[in-house]
Structure 1
Amino acid sequence: MKPWLTYIRVIVIAVLAVIIVRTLFVTSCFIPSSGMENTLYRGEGVLVGKWSYGWRVPLQSVFGYKRLLPDDVKRGDIVVFNNPMPADTSTAVDGRELYISRCIGVPGDTLMLNSQLIAEGSDVFSPDTKALYSYPAEAEESVCDVLNSLGIKGNQLAGYTQEGNYIRSFSYYEHYLVTQRLNGKVELLPLYPEKSRKSYPFVVPGKGVPVKIYPWNAALISNMITLHEKRKSYLQGDTVYVDGKPQKEYTFSQDFYWMASNDPVNISDSRLFGFVPENHIIGKALRIWYPARKGRFMQKIQ
């Protein structure tokens, strides 16, 4: 065989090998912004494992969404995914721009957010964030009964106000549960109203699990049904209509995730585009192959 034919064969085999590896196993992307600093810096190239959560079959517009050997996204993973809310929603999912963020909410989790999904200061509420509340001393027995019925243990009195009211510390989610159970019989007042933030529980949807629709999540759920379920949905008042029928709850056909940037000022994450559906997930960011700083070559991303 002539030498030039050998060279051509080697080149063709090398190109095919690269294509196969990039298509089936590993791809790469560059960090476009400072949103993930100090974990990842702008301009760094990262390797993304396409099998991290099962291999997503390409050409979704042709074959539909399929994933071989699927696995769950873990809380804390840094994930690469397609833009869930592009300017042109007719663009195929796997043809949209790439985003990278840390997953902080998996199906079944409850996140405390304001009704616009953006908390004061652009930070995301955690269900465990604590605040102090006061209530009349004569309501102590009722409050204790509710705490016991909800299985909230170890919540001790934090003190007393000058007026003699009792003070307890509740997380945002505990406050929501206790208030619902008290049903207006006792009012839990924030001890420092100027620091209190109106937040609501948002359940991260899971496949096949009904999600209740409330006034604070109605707009988000209606948008998700339109964008990701491809069904006709609209909001009238606080009521979500799907295919012309009012809904009190909705069951989604796939899992969703809440993604957050490291930088609270950079909101190119779920605060901007809501929950990320599983069919938009590409894979887990594994290692840095093009470092922006010394000593970071092939550093594990975590």
Structure 2
Amino acid sequence: MSRMRTVPADPKPSKLKQIRADKILYLMLLPAIAFYALFHIWPIYEMKLAFYDYRIIGDDVFVGFKHFKELFNTPIFTQVIVNTLVISAMKMFLLFPLPILFALALNEFMNSGFRKTVQVVSYLPHFLSWVVIAGVWYEFLSPSTGAINQILTFFGFQAHDFLTEKSSIRWVLVASEAWRSMGWDSIIYLAAIIGISPTLYEAARVDGAGRWHIMTRIVLPHLFIPMVTIFILNIGFIMNAGLDQILNFTNDSVASHIDIIDTFVYRMGLLNGQYSLATAANLFKSVIGVILVLSTHFLSKKMTGKGAW
């Protein structure tokens, strides 16, 4: 009886051979790698400029925490921090529930065609630049021809220039951000809802559960992890109040009320040429953001058992 000859299995290809086999995919990935290396990794290394006096000609001079001391001794910087925290907190806490509620509302639509139309329309503002969005809101809130002021005057109220009043400009920022991002931010919650097993719905209906109970007992618990993750990430970005938005909505009347850290860095660095001071301000903002993300993550992990990762 002849013995069966076993064929040895092919050895696992090396990493280099795998890269060569998938070289087209890696070439397609190069632009994304270059983007992150140039605009995200390299700037981290160049943050060292906060500890140096910048020299156009010759080597930079190490000065330690000189620029941080100068930064905190600048009277306007305290107001800048307050503006940043207030605007970011308004956006975070007032806008955080909106994508969730929007996703729940879309999930309740029985007509799939109408639901898809609403989704597409709600996503469109996300793809507009803040220049275009600011132009739309300038027309919308115009004291003479804007829709809001026409409604106010129709009912006998006085027209307001919302974009030049300090009492209303922050609310304009919140409202325009909600209009731009609510639909797009709801995608992650809609994806979580779609991932719920249909058998859970069927079992709930068999037990006599109505739409309200299905939403509160099945849908919302499945949204808990995305909600926690996004909230933690939002905490980390609390020092980012929206540079592009504020640059397009600012004017001399309200500049002091919406001047944030990013506009301070833009003004000190690009306009005044104080690169080391601007880098120190940006490094301060980044460190605070990292501390907030880590603190919120570990606090959430300890209280709920779930964090951002």
Larger strand proportion, structure 1 or 2?
Answer: 1
Q: Which has the higher helix share?
A: 2
Shorter-chain TM-score bucket reads under 0.3
